Amino acid sequence: MSSDKKPYVIAEIGSNHNGDFNLALKLIDMAALAGANAVKLQKRNNKTLFTEEMYNRPYEGYGPTYGKHREALEFDFPQFVEMKAYAEEKGLDFFATPFDVDSVEFLEKLGVIQYKVASASVTNQVLIKAIAETGKPVIMSGGGQSFSAIGRAVGYLDVNKLALLHCVAAYPCPPEMMNLLRIPALHGLFHCRVGLSDHQDGIALGAAAYALGARVFEKHITLDHSAKGTDHPFSLEFYGLSQYIKYLNQTAVALRWHEQPMKAEIAPVQKMGQSLYWSRTIPAGRRIQEEDIAIQSPQVSGALYPTPMNLAAMRNRVLTKMVNKGEPVTWGAITGNAG
């Protein structure tokens, strides 16, 4: 993870490769072309992770049971090695979410640079401890978890290497449930980088999250919303991901502080601004009347601003020299006191 104010965008492939290795590579291509910083997959030891009953539960997916479905979505170690190398060639960080300690060991052998803790694993302190012991940065989502549960998990982790992602464990998550004010609350409570694991079916709210302090963003990606699988419908296709990243980067630069006026503002403000001008040609020695002065554009450097104080101060003063219609009003042409 970068440590500056630029948004760090993780393209979550998850299971949207559908168990197809070539599709996984295409998703990596998509993430790189869209401007993401990282791609992430998931890793499970399904035989030990699920109870026998859950593993054998009938399921309509990529296998006849839930366990077989999950097995069909796993890649072996050589495939992970190739995906990691391919992503890194594209300039992307490559890592994964382990759901069990065996998978942490798998990913350590692979040499990932960081880890993700899924929302549902926040209470699995054995897993979190194993991840913490690698000494690598950790990104942890907190969907469906209380602040106290998150705090217990954070206790195992180095906050200097931690990013906590606000998350709502609803797939998709409607805007009214996004609960974005939790982002500054996480930062205030745990004093680490914060971000958003964004399950909204859209691209609008990442920028709002950035404005609230989020700097790490996770978004599911797909090549086809209509593909088989529960995550495809709310995932972003290429155009959506590229726009999401574009708006995040625009928000990041838009929130930089600049003193004003900035250089680019000077000419437009002068063009449309107003100064005081002489409305007629007037000889020297005449007293100035209200109708002698007009408020007009453009604004001219050195001319008087149209303020009530300036207008009142000029009334009945005496011109020291002739002024011409259309010339800006300056103090240099005026002397004497009102009377």
The CATH number for 272's domain is 3.90.1210.10
Instruction: Please say if the pLDDT value at position 10 is more than 80.
Output: yes
Residue tagged 């005449």 (tokens): 286
Q: Which of 226, 254, 282 is the last residue of a domain?
A: 254
Question: What does the pLDDT look like over 150-161, one tens digit per residue?
Answer: 999 999 999 999
Give the Cα separation of 213 and 252 in Å (integer). 10
Give the Cα separation of 41 and 228 in Å (integer). 17
- Rounded to two decimals, the pTM is 0.88
C-alpha 291, offset from chain centre: 55
Mean pLDDT for all residues in the chain: 94
Asked whether 304 and 288 are in contact (CB, 8 A), the reply is no
Q: Quick one: pLDDT at residue 234? A: 86
**Are residues 248 and 146 part of one domain?**
yes
Task: Tell me the pLDDT band of 339, cut-offs 50, 70 and 90.
Answer: very low
SS3 307: coil
Q: Quick one: pLDDT at residue 55? A: 94
Task: Tell me the pLDDT band of 4, cut-offs 50, 70 and 90.
Answer: low
Question: What does the pLDDT look like over 190-240, one tens digit per residue?
Answer: 999 999 999 999 999 999 999 999 999 999 999 988 887 788 888 999 999
- Least confident span in 91-105, 112-126, 252-266: 252-266
Whether omega before 268 lies within 30 degrees of 0, making that bond cis, reads no
The per-type count for the chain, helices as H runs and strands as E runs, is: 13, 12
Cβ neighbors of 9 (< 8 A, separation 6 or more) are 35, 36, 37, 38, 217, 218, 219, 244, 245, 248
**Are residues 183 and 41 part of one domain?**
yes
Give the Cα separation of 144 and 12 in Å (integer). 19
Q: Which of 199, 226, 254 is the last residue of a domain?
A: 254
Amino acid identity at 93: D
Asked whether 233 and 225 are in contact (CB, 8 A), the reply is yes
CA dihedral 261, 266, 272, 276 (to 10 degrees): 90
Compute CA distances 65 → 50, 58, 72, 113, whole Å: 12, 4, 11, 33
Instruction: Please say if the pLDDT value at position 188 is more than 80.
Output: yes
Q: In this structure, is residue 198 part of a structural domain?
A: yes
Domain of residue 146: give its range: 8-254
**Are residues 268 and 249 part of one domain?**
no
Tell me the mean pLDDT in the region 116-126: 98
Asked whether 296 and 279 are in contact (CB, 8 A), the reply is no
Question: What does the pLDDT look like over 99-116, one tens digit per residue?
Answer: 999 999 999 999 999 999
Task: Tell me the pLDDT band of 335, cut-offs 50, 70 and 90.
Answer: low
The CATH number linked to 108 is 3.20.20.70
Alpha helices in the chain (DSSP H): 21-34, 46-49, 52-55, 66-72, 77-89, 101-110, 125-132, 147-154, 182-190, 205-211, 238-254, 263-272, 308-314
Question: What does the pLDDT look like over 30-59, one tens digit per residue?
Answer: 999 999 999 999 999 999 999 999 999 999
Rounded percentage of the chain residues whose pLDDT exceeds 90? 88
Instruction: Please say if the pLDDT value at position 338 is more than 50.
Output: no
Question: What does the pLDDT look like over 285-298, one tens digit per residue?
Answer: 999 999 999 999 99
**Are residues 242 and 278 part of one domain?**
no
**Are residues 52 and 33 part of one domain?**
yes
Whether omega before 306 lies within 30 degrees of 0, making that bond cis, reads no
Q: Which of 230, 254, 278 is the last residue of a domain?
A: 254
What's the number of domains the chain is made of?
2
List residues bridging with 117 in a β-sheet.
140
**Are residues 246 and 192 part of one domain?**
yes
Q: In this structure, is residue 3 part of a structural domain?
A: no
Rounded percentage of the chain residues whose pLDDT exceeds 70? 97
Give the Cα separation of 195 and 276 in Å (integer). 52
Asked whether 16 and 227 are in contact (CB, 8 A), the reply is yes
**Are residues 196 and 299 part of one domain?**
no
Closest CA to 37 of 100, 88, 104: 88
Q: Quick one: pLDDT at residue 232? A: 86
CB-side exposure of 326: number of CA atoms within 13 Å? 0
Cβ neighbors of 253 (< 8 A, separation 6 or more) are none
**Are residues 278 and 238 part of one domain?**
no
Q: In this structure, is residue 1 part of a structural domain?
A: no
